[in-house]
Structure 1
Amino acid sequence: MSRAEAKHSRSSSGRSGGSHRAALAQTVELAQAADRLGYTRFWVAEHHSTPGIASSSPEVLVAALAARTSRIRIGSGGVLLSHYSALKVAEQFRTLEALYPGRIDLGIGRAPGGMPRTAAALRDGRPDAPERFPEQLGELACFLTDTVPTGHRHEGISAVPLIDSAPQLWLLGSTDRSAQFAAGLGAAFAFAHFINGSGGESVVQSYKRSFRPSALGAVPEASAAVYVLCADTDEEAGRLAASADLQLLRQEKGEFGDVPSPAEAAAYPYGKWDGLRIAENRKRMIVGGPETVRNRLLAFSRQYGVGEVIVVTTAYEFGARLRSYELLAQAMRL
């Protein structure tokens, strides 16, 4: 039986009535707990002008988390490359790799990370930014591996600091497009099952078949990200997960906000359509007590053909998130 290595890839989420300052402090505490409990990696996302998420600058958070942990790999899940210079991103993560050798992951995403006006502000009005993503990605790979080709417009430019290792490059996505980018570059790939609960298995297999070895990686490396909430019992996990159910439902209605409490979720006036959407969204989740979660996670890893699973955990109370980490680590024998 394949063993799923539970990880964590989650932004600094705010709870209803909480503050972004508190959310960031709790992210540090969660990373330290993950380090202590035996998790493999801890990733933080990039979102902008989103009230419910405090993580807008993953490179800064990665530095803070790496400084406060000792073993676990720290990374971005992920940097939204189309907003930035490939050279600047390469230099930021080379600096992190120089400071914390062998512990830095550079995850790259294609999403805008916010509403259209926010994305436009980040790109400073450059309308061609999304279309340039494949070109930027190739430039980033060259800067990370010191392989800018002769005749390229960036020939002779190096990403400093000059070091003998590189952060591991991951492409993140919920469709086949990012998988093919990763395969063509020889980079690792993570499928976002917590965003798109259908078709991910075939996307991962396509990535593996199309993989081309490079200076970034000799063999394909894939993982899949799924929402997981583990509590002492199946019933308690279901009660706590109602917060995520309502948050996802509201997001589908264009209402973006903090994580609601289980009490608020229980009192919400759900309609027939709401119940159908919650049932559909639960296909992106693994919720239950330790034994239930262990069995479903192992089945999930076999289904995807991956040896690593990224755990995305949302709960109203910080204590419930921390407890989920602890129970999951015990259940998976980390």
Structure 2
Amino acid sequence: MLRLSVLDQTPVPEGATSREALLETIELAKLTEKLGYHRFWMSEHHNTTGLGHSSPEVLIAAVAAQTNTIRVGSGGVMLPHYSAYKVAENFRLLEALYPGRIDLGLGRAPGGMPIATRALQEGRMGGVDRYPQQVEDLLHYFGTVPKGDHRFGGLIASPAIDSAPEVWLLGSSGDSAGLAADLGLSFSFAQFINGAGGAYAVKAYREHFTPNVSGTGPQAMVSIFAICADTDEEAERLASSFDYQFLLLEQGKLSGGLLPPEKVPTGSFTPIERMRIQENRKRIVIGSPETVKYELLRLADTYGTNEIMVATMVHDFAAKRRSYELLAEAFVLADQA
């Protein structure tokens, strides 16, 4: 049976505020828990007005406090910006407050433009080259690797509890898949970032997986954008906001937030822009419940996974709620809860 989970980036629609978007994220978490979704993850982005926050660990605490059963996590924490020890402390505290419900998704991407990276890493050596060592450090602090010599041996990531968050490595290429396999960690491929090569990366991950001291086997999922509406035509109309937002992003243009479909200048797109829209459609599934269910099942079969995480980016929050409701009905998620 296919599990569905949620990635919410807290997009700020045109005419709304970041606070309103944050409150909608919390409302969406409460709704998707009732509908039977398995996880609710929040992303990290910096120096942007189009997305509502930069600190998933803070929002995790707010969402977990408003829900009861759904797993809550980061998709993800951009580890090269931070001390692995501090991240371990933050997420061990979350695990202590909400035991058995916290996921720590880790990424190596900057989550913003170079100026934000420089500000986040000011005064110390940063960079993705440190990332594999940082992940190993985290596992050491969580006690999920064999105990041995460590440059901070005996250091405790408080609070001292018997459990640890579930750690996932996130990636849009084979590099993170390889690292996850080497360290015995779960892996999520971000097809919503890279529409190609994901199935091969997940296959290689499984083939090279080496269990860590937890003894768990390989666990992989795929994350993709999805817009579901009552009809294919309505879903396409809603998706025009997505198409335009990502065109602007690729062109380095700032927007005043996600536009409503009626404001998208579809008639003025150049042939190259239309080509880019079609290319970006590899990152999203759009349509009626029947159409989206078929495509997600096909995607799950391609990846050989039993879990897909969907992110829905539309202007209207009611349409966003409806999208998740229709998916839950199509996959009968209530029977899995």
TM-score band, normalised by shorter chain: over 0.9
Q: Distance in 1 between matches of 2:135 and 2:96?
A: 21
1:49 aligns with 2:47: yes
Aligned residues of 1:7 and 1:310 also touching (Cα < 8 A):
yes
> 1:142-157 residue pairs with structure 2 within 5 A?
142-145=140-143, 147=145, 149-157=147-155
Q: Which residue of 2 aligns with 1:313?
A: 312
Closer/same/farther in 2, CA of residues 244 and 301 from structure 1, 3 Å limit = same
Instruction: Give the superposition deviation at 1:55.
Output: 2.2
SS of alignment partner, residue 268 of structure 2: coil
Q: Which residue of 2 aligns with 1:5?
A: 3
Aligned residues of 2:236 and 2:286 also touching (Cα < 8 A):
yes
TM-score by length of 1: 0.96
SS of alignment partner, residue 241 of structure 2: helix
Instruction: Give the superposition deviation at 1:312.
Output: 1.0
Aligned residues of 1:104 and 1:168 also touching (Cα < 8 A):
yes
Instruction: Give the superposition deviation at 1:57.
Output: 0.6
Aligned residues of 1:242 and 1:266 also touching (Cα < 8 A):
no
> 1:199-238 residue pairs with structure 2 within 5 A?
199-216=197-214, 218-238=216-236
Q: Which residue of 2 aligns with 1:249?
A: 247
Instruction: Give the superposition deviation at 1:130.
Output: 2.4
Residues 239-258 of structure 1 show CA distances to partners (whole Å, capped at 9, x for unaligned) of: 00010000111111112432
Residue range with higher mean Cα deviation, 126-135 or 282-291: 126-135
RMSD over aligned CA atoms reads 1.3
Residue type matched to 1:229 in 2? I
Aligned residues of 1:187 and 1:216 also touching (Cα < 8 A):
no
Residue range with higher mean Cα deviation, 100-109 or 145-154: 145-154
Q: Which residue of 2 aligns with 1:259?
A: 258
- Which of 127, 151, 167 is the matching residue for 1:169? 167
5+ unaligned residues in a row in structure 2: which ranges?
A: none
Residue range with higher mean Cα deviation, 20-29 or 134-143: 134-143
Residue type matched to 1:318 in 2? F
Instruction: Give the superposition deviation at 1:284.
Output: 1.4
SS of alignment partner, residue 155 of structure 2: coil
Residue range with higher mean Cα deviation, 216-225 or 288-297: 216-225
> 1:6-25 residue pairs with structure 2 within 5 A?
6-25=4-23
Aligned residues of 2:178 and 2:208 also touching (Cα < 8 A):
yes
Residue type matched to 1:323 in 2? R
Q: Distance in 2 between matches of 1:268 and 1:185?
A: 50
Instruction: Give the superposition deviation at 1:6.
Output: 1.5
Runs (4 or more) in structure 1 with deviation over 2 Å come to 125-130, 146-151
- Which of 114, 122, 128 is the matching residue for 2:112? 114
- Which of 239, 243, 256 is the matching residue for 2:237? 239
Q: Which residue of 2 aligns with 1:299?
A: 298
Closer/same/farther in 2, CA of residues 216 and 247 from structure 1, 3 Å limit = farther
Aligned residues of 1:20 and 1:54 also touching (Cα < 8 A):
yes
Residue range with higher mean Cα deviation, 20-29 or 179-188: 179-188
Residues 156-199 of structure 1 show CA distances to partners (whole Å, capped at 9, x for unaligned) of: 10111111111100000000011111111111000000111111
Instruction: Give the superposition deviation at 1:268.
Output: 5.6
5+ unaligned residues in a row in structure 1: which ranges?
A: none
Q: Which residue of 2 aligns with 1:273?
A: 272
Q: Distance in 1 between matches of 2:263 and 2:68?
A: 38
Q: Distance in 2 between matches of 1:125 and 1:118?
A: 14
Residue type matched to 1:130 in 2? V
SS of alignment partner, residue 13 of structure 1: coil
Instruction: Give the superposition deviation at 1:147.
Output: 4.8
Closer/same/farther in 2, CA of residues 252 and 162 from structure 1, 3 Å limit = same
Aligned residues of 1:62 and 1:76 also touching (Cα < 8 A):
yes
Q: How many residues were matched structurally?
A: 332
- Between the aligned residues of both structures, percent identity stands at 48
Q: Which residue of 2 aligns with 1:182?
A: 180
TM-score by length of 2: 0.96
Closer/same/farther in 2, CA of residues 183 and 25 from structure 1, 3 Å limit = same
Instruction: Give the superposition deviation at 1:210.
Output: 1.0
Instruction: Give the superposition deviation at 1:4.
Output: 2.5
Q: Which residue of 1 aligns with 2:322?
A: 323
Closer/same/farther in 2, CA of residues 268 and 107 from structure 1, 3 Å limit = farther
SS of alignment partner, residue 210 of structure 2: coil
Q: Distance in 2 between matches of 1:135 and 1:249?
A: 36
SS of alignment partner, residue 310 of structure 1: strand
Instruction: Give the superposition deviation at 1:215.
Output: 2.8
Closer/same/farther in 2, CA of residues 147 and 180 from structure 1, 3 Å limit = closer
Q: Which residue of 2 aligns with 1:85?
A: 83
Q: Which residue of 1 aligns with 2:283?
A: 284
Closer/same/farther in 2, CA of residues 289 and 126 from structure 1, 3 Å limit = same
